[in-house]
Amino acid sequence: MGLGEFDRIEKFFKPLAARSPGALELSDDAAVLPVFGLAGLVVSTDALVEGVHFRIGDTAELIARKALRTNLSDLAAMGAEPWVYMLSLALGPLDGAPMDPWIGGFAAGLAIDQEEYSIGLIGGDSVSTPGPVMVSITIFGKQGPDGVLTRSGAVAGDDIYVSGTIGDAALGLKALRGTLTGLGSETSAMLVDRYHLPRPRVDLGMALAGWASAAMDVSDGLAQDLAHLCKASGVAGEISFKDVPLSRAAGLLLADGLASVEDICGGGDDYELLFTAPRSARDAVERQAELAGTPVCRIGGIEAGQGVSVRDGAGRLVPLRRLGYRHA
């Protein structure tokens, strides 16, 4: 037997809400967010399930941070400033691990990323389940003075950009599963870390508000997510694989034939920003990316029509059915 629900809230979660606006010390029926003066409140929910989105063997700290960061990535995609979040936690048998240390580790993970991203807990619910652990976070961001970024604003002639490097998390998952051979331990650790711990591009998203015509985060794989963006905008998109930014590790695996275009453009969990901007904004995009301290690469262009195409290094079309990747 561990602590009861109320004692757990007192010990582990109340400290996380100590400086949050409107949290009412987690002691009331609801939080009261002081939204006066805000034009728009950006709200997103992401849920992670044990065995589907993480493994109970992952440390509780990492699971907590991944849950927060996938949500932060949604705010980044909207160009919103992270503010506060609600946590819904269903606690299961934890493969027999004692519950209170696990929750302590989970809360410690939240604390680290609260500092990192200047956010605070305002409330939530904690329930027990006979099944897998589930973490659902609803995150709140402030709309900035230049409005929000959506998926639906891309027009023919726009450039397509992506931040950071693509494919590392999917390769990290393959490494974890043991289906990627011939990796040095350092390379493997780097890729696995990219899978475990997304880097939500919050500063970049905020810097692009007012400049980008459309944006989203890459969670289902570059090709599929570009298809989502193009569909929402009513346009077509083409990217050139040779311009897709790769880490040194992914580049070497590709050169050695150990990773494929499909692994990189069809994998998921990148949590980079995919966005479009008019050609006239090229200098501005470069400047804003520099201000945000986040590298971005121009990888293709938007055209009239519908659908998405990817050209490989030799300029050949990559069959798209091989790039579809869905996690429900």
Contact residues toward a second copy (CB under 8 A) are 4-5, 22, 24, 27-36, 38-49, 51-53, 74-75, 77-78, 80, 86-90, 92, 122-132, 134, 136, 138, 140-141, 143, 148, 150-152, 216-217, 232, 326, 328
Minimum CB–partner distance for residue 257 and a second copy (Å) = 32
The Cα–Cα gap between 69 and 197 comes to 8
- Checking 318-323 for CB contacts under 8 A at 24+ apart, the result is 318/241, 318/261, 318/262, 318/265, 320/223, 322/262, 322/266, 323/221, 323/223, 323/224, 323/262, 323/265, 323/266
Among 49, 21, 202, residue whose Cα is nearest residue 121: 21
Minimum CB–partner distance for residue 322 and a second copy (Å) = 17
Minimum CB–partner distance for residue 313 and a second copy (Å) = 30
Which lies closer to a second copy via its Cβ, residue 36 or residue 177? 36
Minimum CB–partner distance for residue 202 and a second copy (Å) = 13
In contact, 182 and 50? CB cutoff 8 Å: no
Which lies closer to a second copy via its Cβ, residue 138 or residue 247? 138
In contact, 17 and 25? CB cutoff 8 Å: yes
Minimum CB–partner distance for residue 176 and a second copy (Å) = 19
Minimum CB–partner distance for residue 189 and a second copy (Å) = 28
Neighbours of 51 (CB within 10 A): 11
Which lies closer to a second copy via its Cβ, residue 195 or residue 271? 271
Minimum CB–partner distance for residue 91 and a second copy (Å) = 8
Minimum CB–partner distance for residue 128 and a second copy (Å) = 5
The Cα–Cα gap between 214 and 302 comes to 11
Which lies closer to a second copy via its Cβ, residue 314 or residue 328? 328
Kindly calculate the radius of gyration of the chain based on its CA atoms and give it in whole angstroms. Answer: 20
In contact, 191 and 258? CB cutoff 8 Å: no
Count CA atoms within 13 Å of residue 53 on its CB side: 24
- The DSSP-derived string for 116-182 is HHT-EEEEEEEEE-SS--EEEEEEEEE--TT----SS---TT-EEEEES-SSHHHHHHHHHHT-S-S
The Cα–Cα gap between 68 and 271 comes to 12
Q: Which two tokens stand for residue 173?
A: 């998952």
Q: Which two tokens stand for residue 178?
A: 């043991």
